[in-house]
Each structure stands twice: as structure tokens, then as C-alpha cells.
């Protein structure tokens, strides 16, 4: 008769099988958890890399794009016999060309030394209706603009006296808009004024605290 297997031996083998199963499950769980953590880390790294690339691109564009500045090259002389003249100088101080450059400005004389919200809105709407000419400005290139070349500001003698005394204010409102080499639109809005009131006797146009901004 064939020999029966010893019970002790069979029990030992079954016990080994049962003890190895939990170890196998634990290994699979550990492997799965490690894979999930790796995927999460990869996603975070990919996101950070994409964000860093965006920041680098945005920084490069900001450093290279066109910037058009506005300064007063010639201030109006209210003591002159003829109409006072003023000249605005626009210059591309950036490193790449500015396209579709359009500069518009208006000169006005108003009573007092303030600009009401309604007056500011009316001036902005008027400037928006001015078509102007579009041009290209290369880095370092500049152009000038005045109220009326060779004629000056149409101020009467009485108005010049009132501006000098502070009873009236000479305002210059304008905007220069352009598109940079990366296809982004920009603008520079400016507002300057001249008023001879006490504490403001500069005899030149100065920047107003409102109405001057850029993007």
C-alpha cells in the first residue's frame, strides 16, 4: 500500500502557503503606492516646469518688448509775445519695434485748477474719436508732436495771464497706443497741467496725479 503523507508535513506546507500570501499582497500594495506617488511627483514637476517656462517667456517678452515714453521737450512760455508753443517727445525705449503707433493729444484751458470727472470723461471720449496716423517705431526712434506746428497754443493774452495767476489751468491730455513685436497691445495715457497758483509756480507743465497710466 502506498504510504500516506505525514500529517505534520502537510500542515507545514499549507502553513507556508498561507504565510506567503499576506507578504505578496503587501508587496503589491507597496508597489502600487510607490507608482502613485511617482505619478503625483511627475505631475507636480511637469506643472512646475510649465509654470517656470511661462514665467521665463513672460519675463523675456517684458525685457524685449517696445516701451514708448512721453516727455515734454518744450514747455509753453506764457510770457512770450506770441502764442505759447509746446512740444511732446515720444520715444521707443524698448529693444524691439513698436507697430501701429498712434499718438493723440489735446490742449485745453479751464477755469480753476481741477479736472472734474465729467470733464475727464469728455476728454477721453474726444481723444478716442481722433483717428491719427499709424506708424512703426524702431528701438531708439522718436518723434515729436505739438498742438499746431509753427503756430502754438491758441491762448489769448487774458488766458495766459489767468493761467500764470492760477485762475485758469492749461491742460494737456493724450494717449499713445501701439502693438509690440509679440502681438500685445499697449497704451500710455498722460495728463499734464500748468497753473501759476501759490505752491505751483513751476512755469512748466507737470504731471497730474490722475489720468496718467500705462499697461
Tens digits of residue pLDDT in 39-92 = 777 666 666 576 566 676 667 777 888 899 999 998 888 888 878 888 999 999
What does the alpha-carbon distance between residue 86 and residue 206 come to, in Å, rounded to a whole number?
13
Rounded mean pLDDT, 105-122: 81
pLDDT(4) > 60: no
Give the residue with greater pLDDT, 88 vs 29: 88
Report the Cα 136 to chain-centroid distance in Å.
Answer: 20
- Cα–Cα distance, 194 to 171 (Å, whole number): 7
More confident position, 208 or 50: 208
Q: What is the mean pLDDT of the chain?
A: 78
Q: Band of the pLDDT at 10, cuts 50, 70, 90? A: very low
pLDDT higher than 90, residue 152:
no
The contacts of residue 67 (CB under 8 Å, 6+ apart) are: 92, 93, 94
Q: Residue 192 forms beta bridges with which residues?
A: 172, 207
Q: 179 - beta bridge partners?
A: 99, 185
Cell numbers describing residue 184: 500685445
The structural domains of the chain, with segments of one domain joined by +, span 1-64, 68-214
Q: State the Cα–Cα distance between residues 99 and 134, nearest whole angstrom.
A: 8
For the cut 80, the answer to whether the pLDDT of residue 167 exceeds it is yes
Q: For residues 164-189, give the mean pLDDT.
A: 90
Which class does domain 68-214 fall in? Answer: mainly beta
Mean pLDDT within 22-35: 64
More confident residue, 6 or 139: 139
- CB contact set of 168 (below 8 Å; sequence gap of 6+): 109, 110, 111, 112, 159, 162, 195
So what's the pLDDT on residue 112?
Answer: 74
Scanning the structure block, which residue is given the C-alpha cell 489720468? 211
Residue 16 is predicted with a pLDDT of: 53
- The answer to whether residue 11 scores a pLDDT higher than 70 is no
pLDDT of res. 187: 92
Whole-number pLDDT of residue 116: 76
Tell me what pLDDT residue 196 has: 79
Q: Which of 70, 112, 66, 111 has its CA nearest to residue 92?
A: 66
Closest among 141, 13, 41 to 89, alpha carbons compared: 141
Amino acid at each position: 500500500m502506498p504510504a500516506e503523507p505525514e500529517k505534520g508535513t502537510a500542515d507545514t506546507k499549507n502553513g507556508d502557503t498561507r504565510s506567503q500570501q499576506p507578504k505578496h499582497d503587501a508587496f503589491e500594495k507597496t508597489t502600487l503606492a510607490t507608482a502613485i506617488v511617482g505619478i503625483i511627483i511627475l505631475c507636480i514637476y511637469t506643472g512646475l516646469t510649465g509654470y517656470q517656462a511661462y514665467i521665463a517667456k513672460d519675463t523675456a517678452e517684458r525685457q524685449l518688448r517696445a516701451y514708448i515714453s512721453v516727455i515734454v521737450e518744450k514747455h509753453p512760455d506764457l510770457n512770450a509775445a506770441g502764442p505759447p508753443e509746446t512740444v511732446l517727445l515720444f520715444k521707443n525705449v524698448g529693444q524691439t519695434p513698436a507697430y501701429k503707433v498712434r499718438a493723440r493729444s489735446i490742449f485745453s484751458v479751464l477755469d480753476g485748477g481741477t479736472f472734474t470727472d465729467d470733464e475727464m470723461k469728455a476728454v477721453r471720449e474726444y481723444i478716442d474719436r481722433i483717428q491719427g496716423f499709424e506708424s512703426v517705431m524702431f528701438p531708439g526712434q522718436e518723434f515729436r508732436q505739438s498742438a499746431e506746428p509753427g503756430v502754438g497754443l491758441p491762448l489769448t493774452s487774458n488766458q495766459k495771464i489767468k493761467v500764470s495767476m492760477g485762475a485758469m489751468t492749461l491742460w494737456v491730455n493724450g494717449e499713445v497706443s501701439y502693438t509690440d513685436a509679440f502681438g500685445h497691445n499697449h497704451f500710455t495715457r498722460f495728463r499734464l497741467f500748468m497753473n501759476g497758483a501759490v505752491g505751483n509756480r513751476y512755469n512748466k507743465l507737470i504731471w497730474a496725479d490722475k489720468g496718467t497710466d500705462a499697461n
